């Protein structure tokens, strides 16, 4: 049995101001506005976790209030101006609703109540012009908070930002002073980031990054996959592969080729994209964290951006492709911080004048080390001494749901880390990449990486 109550945290004496939105805020705002209303919550950034041992409710509420003072993005509203450009308003005071449920039934009861509350909060879109971009759910049992849920608008944080937010909330709940966290992890607030972006230095970086993207767009093929029939009303299924073998194999291949794990995944994605499309090239729109820039390392905001990775002639030996992908990815990361709206305007103009540029419909987002860990897959923990071949027998592929059509998208692939597996979540245009093709895509990625890992180690 559970009972529900809504509490409020009173916030006052915070930083305030107004100014232009950051490139990240504007890009997410534009993307969410293009979605069907039922799909908008897909862009929410969420995490939930049990608290063991539990914490007193006043301690958690106090930590949340301090968190608002640390990060302006949590009490910022967004609204378009008369010209359609987005502006941000940082509120110095207000109230944050906290959804509290009291549960009985032991640990299982708290976990069930927490999961249900999290699903309810995550399924709601945000009205970022009228409300703050954060929702909090707590489950209290036997006088202590046993479960917490955080749901944020993607206009407030990206995956890395959520990881930083969780780390700060953990420290605050354990008694760390906000000033100490701020001194150890200084970061630009969104208004400060927007000020840099409109400075002469920021404008130069923007222009250079957009010029790099346009060079890549001029060199890539205008279409990868054959076009779907014009009268097709495609389903957009979602396939989820959980692979315990990939969790180990990616790191083994990365170490063997002195590359990053992300480069290993990108190489496999590129190879399978070319194999299934019949193209010799792969063009991938890669979501880049961008926290290697000064002042943004510890920013709890949305600074991730799109980078364009064009890999010609991706056939051949996979290890060589990994090394080539790693070199190309570094340049992609370096040029992934820019005003996306300006780039889109340039692309539209060049397309009208010269015809289509490179295909940008394939998206890859590697969040393995950014978001707080996803709960373990049902397969259970890895067996001690398990070989990669044995781990392969525990791979699962599920089809959780279908989404509304997304114009201009062939596929979007998200990589996540669970407690015992690497999870690949693929959403695709079913008229271009049907379910059988999606299965080949996901299992092909696993096979390429695991086969390479097994050639490098007897494990």
Do residues 99 and 4 lie in contact, with contact meaning Cβ atoms separated by under 8 Å?
A: yes
In this prediction, residues 430-444 reach a mean pLDDT of 95
In this prediction, residues 321-329 reach a mean pLDDT of 97
Two tokens, residue 379: 């397969």
Confidence class of residue 1 from pLDDT cuts 50, 70 and 90?
Answer: low
**Which pLDDT score is estimated for 33?**
87
Task: Kindly report the CATH number that applies to the domain delimited by 221-456.
Answer: 3.30.559.30
SS3 content of the chain, % helix, strand, coil (to 5): 40, 25, 35
Per-residue pLDDT of 164-205, as tens digits, reads 999 999 999 999 999 999 999 999 999 999 999 999 999 999
**Which pLDDT score is estimated for 380?**
39
What distances in angstroms separate CA 178 from CA 64, 82, 135, 218, one per listed residue?
A: 11, 38, 21, 48
CA distance 178 to 64: 11
Per-residue pLDDT of 36-80, as tens digits, reads 777 889 889 999 999 988 999 999 999 999 999 999 999 999 999
Confidence class of residue 377 from pLDDT cuts 50, 70 and 90?
Answer: very low
Do residues 100 and 82 lie in contact, with contact meaning Cβ atoms separated by under 8 Å?
A: no
Contacts of residue 372, defined as CB under 8 A and 6 or more positions apart, other chains included, come to 47, 49, 162, 163, 166
379 has a pLDDT exceeding 50? no
**Which pLDDT score is estimated for 384?**
55
Q: Is 2-196's fold the same as 221-456's?
A: yes
382 has a pLDDT exceeding 60? no
**Which pLDDT score is estimated for 232?**
59
Q: Any idea which residue has 């990669």 for tokens?
A: 388
**Which pLDDT score is estimated for 449?**
98
Cβ neighbourhood burial of 82 (10 Å; 0-12, 13-18, 19+): exposed
Domain borders along the chain are 2-196, 221-456
In this prediction, residues 12-28 reach a mean pLDDT of 96
Lowest mean pLDDT among 107-121, 137-151, 222-236, 402-416: 222-236
378 has a pLDDT exceeding 50? no
Mean pLDDT, the chain, rounded, equals: 92
What distances in angstroms separate CA 447 from CA 195, 378, 451, one per listed residue?
A: 47, 22, 6
Per-residue pLDDT of 252-273, as tens digits, reads 999 999 999 999 999 999 999 9
Two tokens, residue 86: 């987005």
**Which pLDDT score is estimated for 372?**
56
251 has a pLDDT exceeding 90? yes
What distances in angstroms separate CA 142 from CA 103, 137, 263, one per listed residue?
A: 8, 17, 47
Per-residue pLDDT of 121-144, as tens digits, reads 999 999 999 999 999 999 999 999
Confidence class of residue 445 from pLDDT cuts 50, 70 and 90?
Answer: very high
**Which pLDDT score is estimated for 105?**
78
Alpha-helical regions (H) of 232-317: 244-257, 261-277
**Which pLDDT score is estimated for 83?**
81
For 2-196, which CATH superfamily applies?
Chloramphenicol acetyltransferase-like domain (3.30.559.10)
């Amino acid at each position: 049995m559970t009972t529900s109550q809504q509490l409020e945290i009173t916030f006052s004496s915070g930083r305030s101001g107004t100014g232009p939105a950051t490139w990240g805020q504007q890009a997410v705002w534009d993307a969410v506005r293009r979605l069907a209303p039922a799909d908008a919550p897909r862009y929410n950034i969420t995490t939930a976790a049990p608290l063991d041992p539990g914490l007193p409710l006043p301690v958690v509420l106090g930590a949340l209030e301090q968190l608002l003072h640390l990060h302006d993005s949590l009490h910022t509203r967004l609204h378009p101006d008369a010209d359609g450009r987005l502006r941000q308003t940082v509120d110095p005071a207000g109230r944050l609703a906290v959804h509290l449920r009291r549960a009985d039934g032991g640990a299982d009861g708290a976990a069930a109540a927490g999961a249900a509350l999290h699903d309810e909060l995550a399924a709601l879109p945000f009205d970022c012009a009228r409300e703050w971009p954060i929702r909090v759910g707590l489950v209290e049992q036997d006088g202590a908070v046993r479960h917490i849920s955080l749901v944020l608008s993607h206009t407030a944080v990206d995956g890395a930002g959520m990881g930083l937010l969780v780390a700060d909330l953990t420290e605050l709940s354990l008694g760390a002073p906000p000033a100490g966290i701020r001194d150890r992890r200084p970061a630009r607030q969104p208004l400060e980031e927007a000020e840099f972006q409109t400075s002469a230095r920021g404008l130069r970086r923007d222009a250079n990054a957009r010029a790099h993207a346009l060079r890549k767009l001029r060199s890539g093929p205008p279409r990868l996959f054959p076009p779907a029939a014009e009268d097709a009303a495609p389903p957009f299924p979602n396939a989820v592969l959980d692979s315990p073998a990939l969790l180990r194999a990616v790191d083994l291949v990365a170490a063997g080729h002195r590359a990053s794990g992300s480069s290993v995944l990108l190489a496999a994605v590129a190879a399978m994209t070319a194999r299934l499309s019949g193209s010799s090239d792969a063009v991938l729109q890669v979501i880049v964290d961008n926290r290697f820039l000064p002042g943004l390392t510890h920013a709890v905001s949305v600074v991730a951006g799109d980078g364009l990775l064009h890999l010609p002639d991706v056939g051949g030996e996979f290890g060589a492709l990994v090394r080539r992908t790693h070199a190309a990815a570094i340049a992609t990361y370096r040029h992934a911080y820019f005003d996306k709206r300006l780039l889109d305007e340039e692309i539209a103009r060049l397309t009208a004048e010269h015809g289509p540029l490179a295909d940008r419909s394939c998206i890859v987002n590697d969040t393995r080390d950014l978001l707080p860990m996803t709960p373990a897959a049902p397969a259970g923990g890895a067996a001690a001494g398990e070989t990669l071949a044995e781990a392969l027998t525990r791979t699962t592929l599920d089809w959780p749901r279908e989404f509304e059509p997304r114009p201009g998208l062939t596929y979007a692939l998200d990589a996540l880390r669970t407690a015992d597996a690497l999870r690949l979540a693929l959403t695709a245009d079913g008229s271009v990449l049907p379910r059988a093709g999606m299965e080949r895509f996901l299992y092909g990625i696993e096979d390429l990486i695991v086969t390479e890992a097994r050639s490098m180690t007897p494990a």
